[in-house]
Amino acid sequence: MRRIFARIASSAAALIVLSFAVFTLVALSPGDSSAYILPEDAGEEAVEAYREAQGLAKPFGIRYAVFLSSFLSGRWGETIAGSEVAGLIASRVPVTLSISLLSLVMSLAAAIVSSFASLERKTPASAAVTAFAALSASVPLFLSSMILILVFSVLLRLFPVAGYSPLSQGIGEWLGSIFLPSLAMAALHSSLFIMVFRKALRESMGSGYALYAASYGMARLDTAVHIAFRPALPVLVSVAAETTAAMLGGSAAIETVFALPGLGSLMVDAALSRDASLAGILVLLAAMATAAVSIVSELVIFLLDPRRTEAV
């Protein structure tokens, strides 16, 4: 348990350093909001007065303190276009969350099923799974999304081409709108899941307790399911935690191709409209989510295997 508290403390320290770096970069970005809030022919005095009123003229340290306190209290200001950032982000969270969760479930299922199916080395099944994992890891997300849209939405007409229907419109609609994006995401990330979990399962199958079970005449698949499965699980949890960060990044491409209003597409909009302060807030939120997920994963690993003291 002490390790988990140490993890929380070090993550918090890292986040504070990161927030300072983000704030510095945003503050250094050329021009401040006076450039697009005020009319173009505003005089020197008007600009000065605006900067004074907005607190832009204060010393750097104080501006950072103000930034940090308003960030922590959820007052995230407005976008360049003038909408409330906090509300905007809140409306976008469900989309990204749904896709990430569904693709996480898909990746886990793919990893577990394919690992059990290709347990023996040097078999056609094993080679096929290796090839699938290698190939799916080398297709960029935006391309696999385009291919999926082409095949499933345009040719087979199974799913909507784009757009998001919230859960309140019915579970079928919701699932239909996030199925293809999640599949694209899962296709990319399941490769890491598969390779890592299969390796752990094979190692676990070679261990003393699995050999002992086999010597009692337990069937190979039974041994794998009942004996070797649980010791191989912690590594799957840590891969899942690492992947969550990558999924936040991947959502940028996926949500753009599928025209979904999520956090990833919001980040792309922020980058394209050069809204550095919105982008900065999203970066900090992504870092906080990543840190939280990794702490939860350590807790889960600890519950799965209380003896473990070293990180996987």
- Where does this chain bind another protein (CB under 8 A)? 10-11, 13-15, 17-18, 21-22, 25-26, 28-29, 121-122, 126-127, 130, 134-135, 137-143, 146-147, 150, 154, 245-246, 248-250, 252-253, 256-257, 267-268, 270-276, 278-280, 282-283, 286-287, 290-291
Whether 178 and 158 have beta carbons less than 8 Å apart is answered as no
Cβ distance to another protein smaller for residue 7 or 173 = 7
CB of 287 to another protein, least distance (A): 4
CB of 257 to another protein, least distance (A): 8
Cβ distance to another protein smaller for residue 24 or 169 = 24
CB of 170 to another protein, least distance (A): 28
Cα separation of 293 and 42, whole Å?
Answer: 47
Cβ distance to another protein smaller for residue 112 or 278 = 278
The closest of 200, 227, 235 to 311, measured between CA atoms, is 235
234: helix, strand or coil: helix
Amino acid at 190: S
The closest of 40, 57, 113, 64 to 284, measured between CA atoms, is 64
The pair of structure tokens assigned to 213 is 């079970």
Sign of CA dihedral 212, 217, 220, 224: negative
Q: What are phi and psi of 266, to 5 degrees?
A: -65, -40
Cβ distance to another protein smaller for residue 127 or 225 = 127
CB of 271 to another protein, least distance (A): 4
Cβ distance to another protein smaller for residue 194 or 227 = 194
